[in-house]
Homo-oligomer: A and B are copies of this chain.
Amino acid sequence: MSDLLERLRGRGWRLTAQRRVVAEVLDGDHVHYTADEVHAKASERLPEISRATVYNTLGELVSLGEVIEVSTDGRAKRYDPNAHHDHQHLVCSRCGTIRDVHLHGDPLSALPEPERYGFEVSEVTVTYRGICPNCTAAA
């Protein structure tokens, strides 16, 4: 993700220690953390980083299209660094963890014209829900 930092710098981003750490956290594992989880991880490397900065930085990464915001459960949003590959999500209804999944076909084409009601439809998200193997085992 070091090229991410380069790309952002090219767009006029000021490169600070805080932003670097947030980007590194997102790059690290391919898990979908909540903002506060990102903050916790970031604090391990840069203890004085503030919650507001993490929220700001995540918001910027989202509007720059580098990260996708996923809100599956009405609780905390999660951040998905895998923004450049088209994919959908599989969510555990019990523990909330998210996996990226890839579908057969294009879900956009499943919505017939008369069902579009004059909207300019530009995006579709598909979310599968179920119980993950871990939670099944723990039950």
A: which residues have CB within 8 A of B?
69, 71-74, 76-77, 90, 92-93, 99, 101-105, 107-112, 115-133, 136
Contact = CB atoms under 8 A, between A and B. Distances in A.
A130 B133 CA distance: 35
Chain multiplicity (copies): 2
A120 to B, nearest CB: 5
**Chain A's interface: helix, strand, loop or mixed, by majority?**
mixed
B123 A129 contact: yes
Given A71-B73, A74-B69, A74-B77, A118 B103 contact: no
A115 B99 CA distance: 9
Given A117-B132, A120-B130, 9 more contacts: A69-B74, A101-B116, A103-B111, A103-B112, A104-B110, A110-B126, A118-B132, A123-B129, A125-B129
